[in-house]
Structure 1
Amino acid sequence: MKKQIKKKHYNNLYTGFIHITNHGYAFIHINESQKDIFIPKNKTNRALEGDLVKVKFYNKKGIKIQGEVLKVIKRKTQQFIGILKINVQSNNKYGIVHNNNIHVDILIPIQRLKKYHHNDKVLVKITSWPKKYPNPFGKIVKGFGSSGEYKTEIFSLLEEYGISHTFSKKIENEAKKIFSKSILDINLRRDMRKVNTFTIDPLDAKDFDDALSIRKLNYDTWEIGVHISDVSHYIKEGSLLDQEAYSRATSIYFVGKVIPMLPQILSNDLCSLQPKKDKLSFSYIFNINRKGEILKNWFGKTIIRSNRKFTYDEVQSIIEQKKGDYYEDIYTLFLFSKILIQNRLKHGGFYLEKVEVKFHLDKNNDPISLHLEKNNDAHRLIEEFMLLTNRKISEFVSLNLDGNPSNNLYIYRIHDVPDFQKIFLLKKIIEPLGYFLDMKNIKNSINHLLKKIKGKPEQNMIENLILRSMSKAKYSTKNIGHYGLSFIYYTHFTSPIRRYSDIIAHRLLYHYLNNKEYKLKTIEFYEKQSGHCSYKERIAIDIEREFLKYMQVKYIRKFIGKEFDGVITGFTDWSVYIDLLLFQTEGMVRLRDIKEDSYVLNSNNYSIIGEKKRKIYNLGDKVKVKLIDANIEKKQITLDWIENI
């Protein structure tokens, strides 16, 4: 009888992408409804996370929709990066490759493992998965070295995201050719070599994209130049090098290593605005008076000669001590940058204080110390002049002299208004901590909130929540303005050595300045390029974050057993996430390991409550924890809860 009932309902077929949990059971989301099909462990039929599968499902009254995988239509991928485990003691016939993102290990016959060692990180390809076997079989395509080592982690991450850490011979040769042929073309360029000019960059920078020049014209007027490396002069559109730069779209910055968008002979040499060398640049030059009013703008190609390269620390020290090389020039630029900040904030721009985690590495690239770098006056000085340049250039292209839109095609950096629901959630989360958000005046209210949390333990957590509630900035030919900066017109022009979007902005500006010498393509062409740059930027951010997490976990291992202050940043049904203030990194405590009471997640998802004592912990609460484990493989930090009474 039972079988007949089953058959009666067992006539629904569906195709979709499978999500398999670490426990082996799975879900498939049905697009037409809000429901998921539940697939028990023994019914996944050799499917892997993300595969496109055909499912047969049935719906019993009052029970969730259940089903089974009939077949895998298309694998998401055949290749996985994982950690090789060889169990020598039991003399097994197979080594296994473990990958955190799939629910089964991949078996490799022992005789194929002669070149590899236990705990090596490897790229493995699935070769077969016979029906009767619970695990697939595979072969190792590539080894990266021992898991947890600096080079292993970088190269395996790059492989995972399909990014090459080297350039092909063809590309290198084309770069060398450009380098050897480079004759300084100064006929049509404004000569700025006699004006005091310098670069300000991090200590370890090798690619100098931008330089500033300044000279006093009279008692009330200065001429300031923002000079950006003229990369598009050297890299011709459609060339092999251009295609390579477009494909990469951005440089990737790891702790201690850069994967550049352009070969080093260009990024660190020919295009880099090094001191004491004549260099070609694309510049924004303007006159400004004592009040910070811009009197005159000029855009065009220049030749410059930087007098000196400064680090941010050197410039900060000159600002603080009011003495040093080019003190007067630097201090004047600093005073103007303060006026620019005030004007920007007056118009509603956000003022987020970025904190960067910086490591000192030893000769093996292991982290030996950590410091948190805050944006100081020197950083803000450069930042404000770059923001101004990006804004003024996009205004120049987008507006006629009378201020009306020119309808010229351009590449914009756009930032949409925040998601109202996310802002509402932010409001609800911060209220128990004594903060308030005015939903009718979100911008001013957020700026007020940012001021209030400055220096408080929960600052980092709330700033991250604010960032998460914002839309992601991206590139587009369709301008909607930049919400976060409060700019109607904004582009990226100031970093063409490391961002392809800026090369596009240079080419288009050159077209409008030089009587259409550069031929425009279609709007679809630039929109496609914009989308590609946005996509590659997201990937670079993900890779950099993942690698930083690895470095943080590696560094923090030496503090196992020590106690730290933390701030609660998140909850799940079974764990609490805690930001360790000293390291600006997140660790986790399992709810079941909290001894002081039995805690459960409140229905609002952003507080927990003790079943006996009814004590509530909210997001942003300060707690004391002990570091008990730092797992490099999983990039996971496990903490113990010290009674917080």
Structure 2
Amino acid sequence: MAKNMGKQGNKQTTKNAPTPKKPKRKTIKGNLSVHAKGFGFVAVKKGADIFIPVENMQNAMDGDMVQVEIVQRLPKKNPKGRVLKILTLHRREIIGVYRSGSEGATVIPSDERYNSPIIIGKDSFSTLKNGRRPKNDDLVVVVRTQWNESDHLFRGDVIDILGKPDNKGMDLLMVARNNDLTIPFPKQVIRDVSGLKKFDLQTELKRREDFRSIPCFTIDPESAKDFDDAISLVQLDTGRFELGVHIADVSHYVIEGSSIDREAFGRGTSVYFVNNVIPMLPERLSNDLCSIKPKTNRLAFSVIMEIDSRGIVHNYRIRETVIRSASRFSYEEVEEIIEGKEHKYAKTIHLMVMLSLILRKAREEMGSIDFDISEPAISLDDQGVPYAIRPRERIEANRLIEEFMLIANRIVANHIESQVTKKNDKPFVYRVHEKPEDQAIKSFLQLLERLGLKYQLGKEVESDDYRKILDIIENLDYKYYVEKVALRSMTKAFYTTKNNGHFGLAFDAYTHFTSPIRRYPDLVVHRLLKYYALQEKDKSSLKKTETDALEKRLQKICDQCSKREIRATQAEREFIKLKSMEFLSTKVGETYDGIISGMASFGMFVELSHYVIEGLVHVSELKGDRYEFDKDEFTLTGKNTGKVYRVGDAVKVQIKSVSKEEKRADFTLVKES
């Protein structure tokens, strides 16, 4: 009977079969992160993030909640997707240039992550006071209010008028608003800071190590206003070095949970803009109470290390101290002493150079990677107008300070890590840099092979592999290119309570201890060191529930600080690009040497060797042939001539046009005779 019922059912279904329905497309919801070059990624809870090419964005902007579909899956690569719909507009203020014409008004966002104009209706100025209306080319603040599914365009309201782009200080204000950076401190914070009292020396000396008899000094950029680290060095009778790294004791003044602390947590880090700074802490702290000024008693947190001639640390102590800086040096002054200029502390500085070279060599032997990629150093006049740009130099004085800060940070991390046991956990804040992803390594090695370099890895990639590759390419023509690709293949460092080591430095444990004036994680590390030292003194430890609660709280701090660090880096780069374009706009028509720094289907990016500024040679500028883009080889190849342009090739270009508002420079290739 069952068989007969089955046959009848099948026969009836065939006779009256409805038109088959198309299978429903599987869609995914997620937040969109947009890169400055226009493409984006949608974060998903499980699996790899979905890559969204420029042509599949539907004008969606950074931070929007979107609905996407996957259009292509490739082995060992992020799935490629397409935005179907914007579900929620990210409610963020957007800064842009107001343009009004016969067809209506629009705002062109200044942030490259927002690549679509915003339409401004006639009734979109209701929140402006006194009936104000923006004029053409004014910088305005706009909030998106609607996204049209039919034309993929945005509508928005103008909520503030900032002024003309060339007004003094406008660049800084624009970048700050673009990146959600707060400039003025709340009134309560200013009141609380003004009420802070200077320390009582005699009281502090009862509980601190007195380091005032040991000469120490600060070494910073000439333009520095706050000095949060000092160094000392003496050679012991044994021949070993006693290196002291003395850090301003910010935690003495900034009490956890206070209004000052809450504001510092919200900011996460200071943000630097060539000759300006948005500080993490108010000026009275950063430039006065916690600034290590010459000939002035200051509270410090010090790491004192006994190091031998091979760079091995034999003993160390981490102590709260009182110090007195003997002198304030700039990097350039120290460099002059290194090169032979006489000075009272010349002997000490030469010893410091010797020790820093020893530490660097020991670090390199461990496999530590040292990228040396040029960055632009911009000089501004009193009005904020750039008058010079040059590649930033890493002189020996810079390297000296870098090595001493690295060893102090490493010792602090190892100090805590060595005390962790199953019975006595000590939650901490680590600076972690994880190994590159397998696919990134594979792509990098394939690139090397195409360049004629076959490098064989062991079972898994080590920091030393990168260091060896950089040594191999040191004197080759494509050194610049390979260094850039190597850097891009690596993951980003971040803060976490889990110690997963630091791949780039080849350290088993690393933290940030040396800059509590400008980085919130360093301030937290100081507090934790004091807390655990007190526990050790009292011979007490946390209960499991207390440890879990502390770790959870610290991880929230790590997440916040990692996010704010990314935001600060974006803002600093945006400001540099603005000033670079402003400078380059005075050079239109001039010719320069450059290096191809990137490739896309629409053209090639060229970095000017003289100024370290990048511009675009559009594919339409490559006359006399049709060029095809090879995304695997990173090349543009002429279909008829066979002419090949590769990343890393040296070229000569002429500056065709520059737009500061769009942060864009267009170049044309100059034919060699």
TM-score when normalising by structure 2 = 0.83
| Deviation by residue 1:526-545 (Cα, 9 ceiling, x = unmatched) | 11111211111111111111
What residue number does 1:84 align with?
98
What residue number does 1:96 align with?
106
Q: 1:422 aligns with which of 420, 440, 447?
A: 440
What residue number does 2:77 align with?
none
1:332 corresponds to 2:332: no
Query: CA 1:368–1:57 in structure 2 vs 1: closer, same or farther (change >3 Å)?
Result: closer
| Deviation by residue 1:471-512 (Cα, 9 ceiling, x = unmatched) | 111111111111111111111100010001101111111122
Query: In structure 2, the residue corresponding to 1:542 is in which secondary structure?
Result: helix
Q: Contact 1:17–1:50 at 8 Å: present in 2 too? A: no
What residue number does 2:233 align with?
214
Deviation of residue 158 (structure 1)?
1.5
Q: 1:626 aligns with which of 617, 629, 654?
A: 654
| Deviation by residue 1:295-339 (Cα, 9 ceiling, x = unmatched) | 431111000010110001111111111532300011111101111
Unaligned runs of 5+ in 1: 59-63
Query: CA 1:455–1:581 in structure 2 vs 1: closer, same or farther (change >3 Å)?
Result: farther
What residue number does 2:12 align with?
none
Query: CA 1:38–1:585 in structure 2 vs 1: closer, same or farther (change >3 Å)?
Result: closer
What residue number does 2:501 align with?
481
Alignment of 1:140-539 (within 5 A): 140-147=158-165, 151-178=169-196, 180-184=197-201, 185-218=204-237, 220-290=239-309, 292-321=311-340, 323-400=342-419, 407-440=425-458, 443-454=463-474, 458-515=478-535, 522-539=550-567
Deviation of residue 126 (structure 1)?
4.4
Query: CA 1:79–1:378 in structure 2 vs 1: closer, same or farther (change >3 Å)?
Result: closer
Cα distance in 1 for residues equivalent to 2:631 and 2:241? 60
| Deviation by residue 1:527-574 (Cα, 9 ceiling, x = unmatched) | 111121111111111111111111111111122111112212222112
What is the RMSD computed on CA atoms of the aligned residues? 3.9
Counterpart amino acid of residue 367 in structure 1: P
What residue number does 1:61 align with?
none
Q: 2:625 aligns with which of 580, 586, 597?
A: 597
Cα distance in 1 for residues equivalent to 2:334 and 2:33? 53
Cα distance in 2 for residues equivalent to 1:530 and 1:244? 16
Deviation of residue 433 (structure 1)?
4.1
Query: CA 1:181–1:463 in structure 2 vs 1: closer, same or farther (change >3 Å)?
Result: same
Query: In structure 1, the residue corresponding to 2:640 is in which secondary structure?
Result: coil
Q: Contact 1:127–1:137 at 8 Å: present in 2 too? A: yes
Deviation of residue 449 (structure 1)?
3.0
| Count of aligned positions | 624
What residue number does 1:119 align with?
137
What residue number does 2:119 align with?
106
Query: CA 1:405–1:563 in structure 2 vs 1: closer, same or farther (change >3 Å)?
Result: farther
Deviation of residue 277 (structure 1)?
0.7
Deviation of residue 48 (structure 1)?
7.0
Alignment of 1:551-570 (within 5 A): 551-570=579-598
Deviation of residue 247 (structure 1)?
0.9
Cα distance in 2 for residues equivalent to 1:19 and 1:622? 36
Deviation of residue 614 (structure 1)?
1.2
Q: Which moved more, 1:479-488 or 1:346-355?
A: 346-355
Cα distance in 1 for residues equivalent to 2:307 and 2:68? 68
Query: CA 1:226–1:21 in structure 2 vs 1: closer, same or farther (change >3 Å)?
Result: closer
What residue number does 2:157 align with?
139
| Deviation by residue 1:336-363 (Cα, 9 ceiling, x = unmatched) | 1111111111111112225331111111
User: Among the aligned pairs, what percent are the same residue?
Assistant: 31
Unaligned runs of 5+ in 2: 1-17, 72-79, 126-130
Counterpart amino acid of residue 207 in structure 2: L
Deviation of residue 432 (structure 1)?
4.4
Deviation of residue 68 (structure 1)?
7.2
| Deviation by residue 1:72-106 (Cα, 9 ceiling, x = unmatched) | 6432227432211134xx5x7x5432236253432
What residue number does 2:8 align with?
none
Q: Contact 1:13–1:54 at 8 Å: present in 2 too? A: no
